């Protein structure tokens, strides 16, 4: 029998599981894997043909809103810098203060969570850093090693507008996804600077550097669903995730159960709503993978991300059907 490392929520086969190479994700393979049939194919390469059909939700204006919504995420690179930001637009010289002493980790953790919410986070959790979830290499092939002093991960969920997401897979939903990512960049960058301003180190990230979902589970934000996404009690999967590694002394939260695992065994609405046929309908989760973009050794309903991305190319934008179809989706 496989040796398993088990939290209260998920199971990992330690004999099979290894840190995942980010080049093996769909977007990494799109850039590097010549054997993938979508190698070198971007999501917008069919956009002129799609716009020429004049379908509702797929107009030139809709597409322009998508492009505008990505702006902060695409161009605010400093939001994900491992070092303190230096190229400020402000003419004011910033004060250099002594390190803020943390005498009460519980109180400091609440202050940090409240600050992240002030910057735009809908949910915030803290977990001890589990190095299993750090990518082995980034999309450029560079090995990723996190210094030992970084003990905690602060995981933030950015809520999205359910009404906009419910229009998926139209560009109106794509624009909401994009603005979610841009809000994510603002929130994670600002929270990292808050930590640094108190004299501690912070490594902010979006989907890069480490896997967001298992860290969000460990931080008590929710459970993993059949759709391969984090499902939260308040927002379902209608969220975007970002996180920060830090050496600030904090109090870790505990994983929670909200009934997702049991519910998903019977509910297959996300699988039925998936036009790409990427979501499994098996009654039970398993260690079986669905495509090379799945990391082996994790118990779950593995989503065929290759099929998912092929539809994104065909659609000219991302798809959120599985998010909108989920019974945990917020009521509009």
How far is 271 from 267, CA to CA, in rounded Å? Answer: 9
**93 belongs to a structural domain:** no
- Phi, psi of 245, deg, nearest 5: -90, 140
Question: 49: pLDDT confidence band, cut at 50, 70 and 90?
Answer: very high
Residues whose CB falls within 8 Å of the CB of residue 142, separated by 6 or more in sequence, listed in order? none
- Phi, psi of 123, deg, nearest 5: -135, 145
Residue 127 has pLDDT above 90, yes or no: yes
Structure-block tokens of residue 284: 């039970």
Residue 124 · residue 294 · CB < 8 Å: no
Positive or negative, the CA dihedral 45, 46, 51, 56 is negative
Residue 6 has pLDDT above 70, yes or no: no
pLDDT value at residue 93: 86
How far is 72 from 158, CA to CA, in rounded Å? Answer: 14
Query: Which H or E run includes 321?
Result: helix 321-325
**258 belongs to a structural domain:** yes
**21 belongs to a structural domain:** yes
**331 belongs to a structural domain:** no
Of 3, 41, 23, residue with least CA distance to 295: 23
Percent of the chain with pLDDT over 70: 98
**330 belongs to a structural domain:** no
Residue 257 · residue 223 · CB < 8 Å: yes
Quote the DSSP letter at residue 249: -
| 220: containing domain | 4-85+100-325
What pTM was computed for the model? 0.94
pLDDT value at residue 1: 28
Residues whose CB falls within 8 Å of the CB of residue 297, separated by 6 or more in sequence, listed in order? 12, 13, 14, 15, 16, 17, 18, 287
Express each pLDDT in 279-318 by its tens digit: 999 999 999 999 999 999 999 999 999 999 999 999 999 9
Residue 97 has pLDDT above 70, yes or no: yes
Domain total of the chain:
1
pLDDT value at residue 8: 52
Express each pLDDT in 51-67 by its tens digit: 999 999 999 999 999 99
Express each pLDDT in 170-212 by its tens digit: 999 999 999 999 999 999 999 999 999 999 999 999 999 999 9
**194 belongs to a structural domain:** yes
Residue 3 has pLDDT above 80, yes or no: no
- Phi, psi of 244, deg, nearest 5: -135, 130
Residue 2 has pLDDT above 50, yes or no: no
Percent of the chain with pLDDT over 90: 92
**What is the average pLDDT score of the chain?**
95
Does 3 or 62 have the greater pLDDT score? Answer: 62
Structure-block tokens of residue 161: 């507008």
Q: Which long-range contacts (CB under 8 A, 24 or more apart) does 267-272 make?
A: 267/226, 267/327, 268/226, 269/325, 269/326, 269/327, 270/225, 270/226, 270/227, 270/321, 270/322, 270/325, 270/326, 271/226, 271/322, 272/325
**30 belongs to a structural domain:** yes
Q: What separation in angstroms does the CA of 203 have from each of 80, 87, 147, 200, 240? A: 7, 17, 11, 10, 18
Express each pLDDT in 259-271 by its tens digit: 998 999 999 999 9
**95 belongs to a structural domain:** no
């Amino acid at each position: 029998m496989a040796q398993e490392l088990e939290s209260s929520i998920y199971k990992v086969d330690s004999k099979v599981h290894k840190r995942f190479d980010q080049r093996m994700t769909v977007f990494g393979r799109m850039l590097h894997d010549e054997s993938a049939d979508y190698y070198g194919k971007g999501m917008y390469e069919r956009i002129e043909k799609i716009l020429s059909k004049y379908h509702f939700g797929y107009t030139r204006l809709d597409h322009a809103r998508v492009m505008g919504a990505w702006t902060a995420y695409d161009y605010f690179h400093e939001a994900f810098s491992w070092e303190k930001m230096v190229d400020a637009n402000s003419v004011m010289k910033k004060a250099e203060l002594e390190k803020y002493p943390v005498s009460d980790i519980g109180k400091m953790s609440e202050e940090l969570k409240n600050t992240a919410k002030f910057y735009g986070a809908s949910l915030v959790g803290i977990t001890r850093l589990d190095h299993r979830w750090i990518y082995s290499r980034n999309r450029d092939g560079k090995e990723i090693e996190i210094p030992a002093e970084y003990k905690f991960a602060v995981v933030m969920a950015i809520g999205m507008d359910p009404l906009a997401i419910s229009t998926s897979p139209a560009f109106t939903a794509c624009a909401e996804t994009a603005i979610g990512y841009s809000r994510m960049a603002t929130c994670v960058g600002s929270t990292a600077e808050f930590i640094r301003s108190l004299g501690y180190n912070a490594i902010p990230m979006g989907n890069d550097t480490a896997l967001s979902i298992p860290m969000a589970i460990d931080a008590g934000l929710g459970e993993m669903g059949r759709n391969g996404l984090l499902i939260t009690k308040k927002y379902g999967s209608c969220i975007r995730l970002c996180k920060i590694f830090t050496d600030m002394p904090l109090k870790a939260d505990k994983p929670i159960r909200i009934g997702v695992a049991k519910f998903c065994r019977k509910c297959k609405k996300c699988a039925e709503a998936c036009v790409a046929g990427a979501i499994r309908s098996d009654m039970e989760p398993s260690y079986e993978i669905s495509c090379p973009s799945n990391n082996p050794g994790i118990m779950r309903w593995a989503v065929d991300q290759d099929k998912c991305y092929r539809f994104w190319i065909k659609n000219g934008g991302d798809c959120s059907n599985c998010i909108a179809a989920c019974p945990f989706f917020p009521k509009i």
